[in-house]
Amino acid sequence: MLKNTVYLGLSVESLHHGHINLIKEGQKYGKILVGLISDKAIAQNKRVPLLNYNQRKTIIENINGVSKVVTQINYDYSENIKKYKPEFMIHGDDWQKGSQIILRKNALKALKKYGGKLIEVPYTKDISSTALAEQQFSLGITPEVRLKSLKRNLASKNFLRFIEAHSPISAMIIENLKINTNKGTKFFDGFWSSSLTDSARLGKPDNEVLNISDRLHNINQIFDVTTKPLIMDIDTGGRVEHLKINVRSMERLGISALIMEDKKGLKKNSLLGTSVKQTQESITNFSNKIKAVKLSQRDNDLMLISRIESFILKNGINDALKRAKSYINAGTDGIMIHSKEKDPSEVFEFAKKFRKNFKDVPLICVPTSYNNVREEELIRKGFNIVIYANHLFRAAYPSMEFAAKSILKNGRSKEIDKKIISIKKILNLIPGTV
């Protein structure tokens, strides 16, 4: 047992007087040993904190009364209690109810084994690290912070989920949506900017007809009301000469990653497969394109992800693996393997063989066709990011069509009242409206 030592577990997403109060109270019993919760643990339950672990650690280490800071890898205090055996542990009494009860129970059990004592102090009302952190995010973030956030997420979490946002309002839904499950809080980690939905939204064909300015304008509007990272679908990337300039525009805006597919010529949607004429770029030419992108970017935090179309064009797994190796050697930051089959076998086989040689390269999938596969299985197969590429747009269209048909049929709108969002909810949805 560490005599005269008080264990205090903190996340400190935002330092506030409640934390200082706990430290002062703990000092009455001995030296303060702070267990600082890891970025990974915070990210799994909320979002990656604005300040990384080392930044938070530096702050805590310089608070008067803190003797030492150690890592607490998750929200369960018991592991560190067993490891360090402090004479005391201090915590606010707010964990006596709600979801934290189990954490309290585990801590008490660990303390009991060697005679440690729990000190509980009244919770500082009207203050919360989570609330303060959310408030900080609500004020917006800089392009630089947003740009870096995808890499920070990947470093903190084993698996990320992204979903298509075709408008600011759809992005706001994604930004704020959370559900609680028996496995913790689930949410979307960021946005996918789809060339398909951007084109369809404007009534244009999905063949790279939209110029980059149109797409960046939409992304900028999304960024005005959100804080999460965005991955942009840039199709083939277009001419290398233009791409090198466009990359810098994307970078300045704060886009976190670009996904570029290894096809050439007039773009056709990949899910059409070989029913339309599609041509895969040579390995050499596409690798050179990757090199050009990486040389043109100013910040290494912008990720380039190479989308391999070998399965779409029936060129087989050996071709896909050969391309992956060449693209990684050329400097790509991640690989997306694409398939239009309902059976995920070829994608899973690729992942298995890919992971034998590339343990740490991010692997991305877009299971639009093989949508029966759950995220748990994607994780087991070695994927780091799943993208739900067009589902919000596809959900919106039938809803709009249904409403319009109902009004035509009934000559009034009363019949759809219960199936559409209320005016009041719309007004409350947008900050500053009410």
> What angle separates helix 283-296 from helix 240-253, to the nearest 10 degrees?
40
CA gap 304, 116 in Å, rounded: 51
CA distance 121 to 41: 24
Say what the pTM is.
0.84
Q: What are residue 2's DSSP bridge partners? A: 86
**Cα–Cα nearest to 330, from 379, 281, 381:** 281
Q: What are the tens digits of pLDDT across the range 184-213?
A: 789 999 999 999 999 999 999 988 888 899
Q: Provide the pLDDT for residue 126.
A: 60
- Give me the chain's average pLDDT, please: 92
Query: 132 falls in which pLDDT band (50, 70, 90)?
Result: very low
- Cα of 8 vs its chain's centroid, Å: 29
User: In angstroms, what CA-CA distances link 321 with 42, 353, 380, 408?
Assistant: 35, 8, 19, 53
The C-alpha R_g of the chain, in whole angstroms, comes to 25
**Domains annotated on the chain, with CATH:** 2-132 (3.40.50.620), 140-389 (3.20.20.60), 395-429 (no CATH)
Q: Which residues on adjacent β-strands are paired with residue 334?
A: 305
Residue 322 to residue 214: CA distance in whole angstroms: 35
Asked if 358 and 134 count as a contact pair (C-beta separation under 8 A), the reply is no
The DSSP bridge partners found for residue 33 are 7, 68
Active site residues: 206
The whole-angstrom distance between residue 356's C-alpha and the CA centroid of its chain comes to 25
> For residue 220, what pLDDT is reported?
97
Rounded Cα distance between 79 and 73, Å, is 9
Q: Which of 269, 253, 241 is nearest to 215 (CA)?
A: 253
- Tell me: the pLDDT tens digits for 281-322? 999 999 999 999 999 999 899 999 999 999 999 999 999 999
List, for residues 119-128, the tens digit of each pLDDT value. Answer: 999 887 665 5
Residue 397 predicted with pLDDT over 60 = yes
Contact 78, 106 (CB under 8 A): yes
Task: Characterize 258-278 residue by residue with b for buried, 16 or more Cβ atoms within 10 angstroms of its Cβ, and e for exposed.
Answer: bbbbbbeeebbbbbebeeeeb
